[in-house]
Amino acid sequence: MNRSNGTARTNIVIRGLIACAGLLLALLGATLSQQLSTSSGDSSIVALVNQQPISIKDADSLALELWALPYNKLSADQRSTALQLLIDQELLLARAKALSLTATDPGLRKVMAAAAINQITNNFLQQPVTDIQLREFYQTNGSIFEQPKKTAVHALRLTDQASIRQAEIMLAEGKNLTHISQSLQLDPVLPPTLLSIPVLYRYLGASLVSHIEKLDQDQISPPLQKADGLYYVQVTAIQKAHTPSYQAIRQSIKAEYQRRGRDIALSNRLNQLWQQADITTHQPVHNSPVMSNPVINSTVATEGAQ
């Protein structure tokens, strides 16, 4: 009887081991099959998550962000880390879709809109810009690169009667304001450089600047009274408004070309989406017109909007 029971127990154990081995083989077979199917499939895919592919492009973007290297240049540990992060991201995105967060979460909707904008504008920025395009843009839009008129001014501020009398004597002798300021050891009112009219306004106020604009170079104003003292001003140099040469500001021209081009690419794409969409509103909506510029609004900006 004991022998029979022992044999039965042995058979049960053997059957359990066989079942476990079969289950293990099945799991290994499924994993091996998945690996073979991924490796033998599209080489641009690094993983599948619920049949959703993760592309090598996504892996490269993450690898460049984290290690400044493309994915295929990473070490085995780095690849494993990158792949885990990409899978986590895909699982979270799938969860967000399942919860309809893309339709209900305002913050997520803004992030998605911002990502779409970046994609459109980055497409434009990836287009090469030729010297011919930049020169044409410079010639057509020269006014936006114009440097304003600038004036170098020496201002004298006198706050006591003794200084005022001494300054009047030296002015009568034909001394300029620089000499008088040094003689009286006065603190400078303005930096000794060319300044635009708006900057002069901030330093001196409207009343003094209105007098400065009427002065010729080296001319000294009459005494001008303000609440904080008596002023004399003298124009020492004038730089007329001008547009710098193309070579001198080429980088600024390129930056402005790309800034306007991004705006146009986005506007073009939004207008395309408006025209393709079926939109119903309870009140009239006036769609913004496409930004117009004969230089930038070309195939480059159009291709960037795709």
Q: Residue 153 burial (CB < 10 Å; 0-12/13-18/19+)?
A: buried
The answer to whether residue 247 sits within a structural domain is: no
Q: Which long-range contacts (CB under 8 A, 24 or more apart) does 17-24 make?
A: none
Give one word for 55, left, alpha or beta, with left for phi > 0 and alpha for psi -120 to 50. beta
The per-residue pLDDT for 134 is 94
Say yes or no: 184 and 225 in one domain.
Answer: yes
pLDDT at 160 over 50: yes
242 DSSP β-pair partners: 147
The per-residue pLDDT for 225 is 93
The answer to whether residue 166 sits within a structural domain is: yes
The per-residue pLDDT for 15 is 46
- Flag the least confident range among 65-74, 85-94, 248-257, 291-300: 291-300
Q: What is the pLDDT of residues 173-211, one digit of tens each?
A: 999 998 999 999 998 899 989 999 999 999 999 999 999
Write out the DSSP string of 201-259.
HHHH-HHHHHHHTTPPTT-BPPPEEETTEEEEEEEEEEE--B---TGGGHHHHHHHHHH
The answer to whether residue 159 sits within a structural domain is: yes
CATH number of the domain enclosing 62? 1.10.8
147 DSSP β-pair partners: 242
pLDDT at 34 over 60: no
Query: Span 104-126, mean pLDDT?
Result: 82
Say yes or no: 130 and 276 in one domain.
Answer: yes
**Which of 1-10, 144-153, 265-274 is most confident?**
144-153
Confidence band for 306, pLDDT divided at 50, 70 and 90: low
CATH number of the domain enclosing 175? 3.10.50.40
Alpha carbon distance 172, 175 (integer Å): 7
The answer to whether residue 57 sits within a structural domain is: yes
The per-residue pLDDT for 222 is 93
The per-residue pLDDT for 92 is 81
The per-residue pLDDT for 258 is 92
The answer to whether residue 104 sits within a structural domain is: no
pLDDT at 84 over 80: yes
Domain that holds residue 261: 123-143+252-304
The per-residue pLDDT for 66 is 92
* Structure tokens that stand for 75 in this block: 């070490």
The answer to whether residue 205 sits within a structural domain is: yes
The answer to whether residue 244 sits within a structural domain is: no
Amino acid making up residue 147: Q
The percent helix, strand, coil of the chain (3-state, each to 5) is 60, 10, 25
Confidence band for 290, pLDDT divided at 50, 70 and 90: very low
The per-residue pLDDT for 104 is 79
Say yes or no: 151 and 235 in one domain.
Answer: yes
Within a 10 A sphere around the Cβ of 137, how many other Cβ atoms? 23
Confidence band for 284, pLDDT divided at 50, 70 and 90: low
Confidence band for 285, pLDDT divided at 50, 70 and 90: low
The answer to whether residue 113 sits within a structural domain is: no
Confidence band for 117, pLDDT divided at 50, 70 and 90: confident
> Between 10 and 125, where is the model more confident?
125
Say yes or no: 190 and 63 in one domain.
Answer: no
Distances (CA, A) of 140 to 31, 134, 144, 205: 63, 10, 10, 36
* Structure tokens that stand for 278 in this block: 């079926």
- Flag the least confident range among 25-29, 60-64, 175-179, 209-213: 25-29
pLDDT at 5 over 50: no
Distances (CA, A) of 84 to 46, 88, 172, 232: 11, 6, 84, 72
